[in-house]
Amino acid sequence: MAINETIISSVVQKVVEQLIKAEKTQHQEFNGIYDTVDEAVENAVEAQKKLIAMPLEVRDKMVAAMRKGALDNNEMLSELAVRETKLGRYEDKIRENILCATKTPGTEDIQPFAKSGDHGLMLLEYAPVGVIGSLTPITNPTGTFINNGIGMVAAGNAVVFNPHPSARETSTKMVEILHQAIVDAGGPPSLISSIRKPTLETARQIIDHPKINMLVATGGKPVVKAVLSSGKKAIGAGAGNPPALVDETAHIRRAARCIVDGASINNNIFCTCEKEVVVVDEVAGALIKFMQETGKAYLLTPQEAEQITKLVVNSEGKINIAYIGKDVQVILKEIGIELDEKCRLAIFEAPRDHPLVWLEQMMPIMPIVRVKNVQEGIRFATEVEQGNRHTAIMHSTNVDNMTAFARAVQTTIFVKNGPAYAGIGLGGEGHTAFTIAGPTGEGLTSARTFTRQRRCTLVEGFRII
């Protein structure tokens, strides 16, 4: 066949197309961001196969690199998260990222268990589930990724994230950093990936994808319900409405300081933050006075409280999302109150049926409800938690009272005499989790949560004593 111009141009065109395709693939593999769920999942399946063929030593290196990547980019990520989502506070995002990078367990969490006896040896190992689909909230577009990313990969899985659409830029940056850290540490590309334009539709595709083996939803009730109705193994980390109960035996000044700090971190957007205070009448005045004395809490008059309520709760009785996660200065300015920079929280005395007692406000506006005595406080605080099984806090020096409340409220996290954030390891013992699975019961998730158990039994051998 004679080579003419048409053939040459067709060959050139094919070569150029292939080069573009190769470059695109390389680019996509490079940063872990995919246009479609299918592409992301197919690549995640391959990446996970490569991961389990690698030594655990490489996995540890990957985890160490992910921690470092998060810490090295902390300022940029925190600034971006606040700028994009317009929620929370820069300095608290910094704390959140340090917490997640340093207190999320790695492979030490999946140590096997062995039992030897008359019949030989039994070995229990925590095996990967495969590919996990993780749906993440707008409130923590950095912390959830660091925390889920380390835990899921340490357990030997790949993960495809569907970030909240309004936190897309931050989440994408976060995934790129974790992805790069893994590749630099010798791990396979696409172990952690995300969808370029996440939507409810891509969330649905992840939920339904036959090659996704486990779903993890961190968010409100609808997304938890969506993953639990999928027919797959699913972990649901849902909303909370954590009450802080203060009885007459508490160290009141300390309780006041803890509540102000706990409720105002990140402008109250952590799901664990104190959302209402329930206080025994005889110490209520002192508690409010000490809260004001921190210099970080402003006491609203009854009229101001009414104006603020009208502003932040809409006519349908729902939270006005325009004020979620905003600084207290921004919210109070709307009713003509100027606060100094140090202020973090507005507090007010509320009747029991006040909407902010029952709604998850996620803003630094805190209702305080008086009760006659601790028994009434336990009953009421349990009611306002609404069976979320999320978080509750108590300030008391009476062990019986604390035990009674813990038994009644049945939350995943119960903090005694500290800010609520101590319960996620910030100034409290224990590992951290930004996926707290109350509805499905895994509690503060970690690498082990993202595994399936496998048993190996050796009959009549390996008992050496």
Q: Which residues bind ligand NAD (CB under 6 A)?
A: 135-140, 162-165, 200, 203, 218-220, 222-223, 226, 237-240, 271, 360, 434-436
Least distance to ligand NAD from the beta carbon of 460, Å? 46
What's the token pair of residue 12? 């050139």
Q: Smaller CB distance to ligand NAD: residue 135 or 277? A: 135
Rounded to an integer, what distance in angstroms lies between the CA atom of residue 39 and that of residue 203?
14
The CB-nearest residue to ligand NAD is 219
Taking the complex as a whole, how short is the minimal distance between the CB of residue 124 and ligand NAD, in angstroms?
27
Which of 168/370 has CB closer to ligand NAD?
168
Q: Using alpha carbons, select from 227, 173, 172 the residue that is nearest to residue 197.
A: 172
Shortest separation between residue 222's beta carbon and ligand NAD, angstroms: 4
Cα–Cα distance between 448 and 442 in angstroms, integer? 10
Q: Residue 317's Cα: distance from chain center in Å?
A: 26
H runs (alpha helix) in 339-398: 355-358, 374-385
Least Å from the CB of residue 207 to ligand NAD = 7
CB of 444 to ligand NAD, least distance (A): 9
Question: Could you tell me if 63 and 52 are in contact, meaning their C-beta atoms sit under 8 angstroms apart?
Answer: no
CB within 8 Å of 98: residues ≥ 6 apart:
71, 74
Q: How far is the CB of 386 from ligand NAD (least distance, A)?
A: 12
Complex with ligand NAD: residue 147 or 157, whichever CB lies closer:
147
How many whole angstroms separate alpha carbon 99 and alpha carbon 427?
A: 10
Nearest one of 240, 235, 307 to 268, comparing CA atoms: 240
In the complex, minimum distance from the CB of residue 404 to ligand NAD, in angstroms, rounded to a whole number: 25
SS3 196: coil
- Nearest approach, Cβ of residue 362 and ligand NAD (Å): 7
Q: Which is nearer to ligand NAD, 139 or 451 (CB)?
A: 139
Q: Give the orientation angle of helix 168-184 with respect to helix 74-85, to 10 degrees.
A: 160
d(Cα 422, Cα 413) in Å, to the nearest integer? 10
- Identity of the residue, 220 or 430, whose beta carbon is nearer to ligand NAD in the bound complex: 220
Taking the least distance from each CB to ligand NAD, the nearer of 27 and 197 is 197
Taking the complex as a whole, the smallest distance from the CB of residue 351 to ligand NAD amounts, in Å, to 24
Smallest distance from ligand NAD to CB 295, Å: 28
Whose Cβ is closer to ligand NAD: residue 197's or residue 463's? Answer: 197
Among 18, 99, 37, CA closest to 426: 99
The nearer residue to ligand NAD, 151 or 163, going by C-beta atoms, is 163
Please name every residue paired with 444 in a beta bridge, in sequence order, or none if there are none: 436
Q: Are 257 and 295 in contact (CB under 8 A)?
A: no
How far is it, in rounded angstroms, from Cα 148 to Cα 81?
17
Q: In terms of CB distance, is 135 or 181 closer to ligand NAD?
A: 135
410-423 burial code (b ≥16 CB/10 A, e <16): ebbbbbbbbbbbbb
SS3 label, residue 144: helix
Smaller CB distance to ligand NAD: residue 48 or 162? Answer: 162
CB of 240 to ligand NAD, least distance (A): 5
Q: What are the distances in angstroms from CA 112 to CA 23, 126, 164, 207, 445?
A: 42, 7, 35, 30, 18
CA 350 to chain CA mean position, Å: 29
Which of 164, 395 has the CB closer to ligand NAD?
164
Query: Does residue 179 contact residue 193 with C-beta atoms inside 8 Å?
Result: yes
Taking a C-beta distance cutoff of 8 angstroms, is the pair 345, 260 a contact? Answer: yes
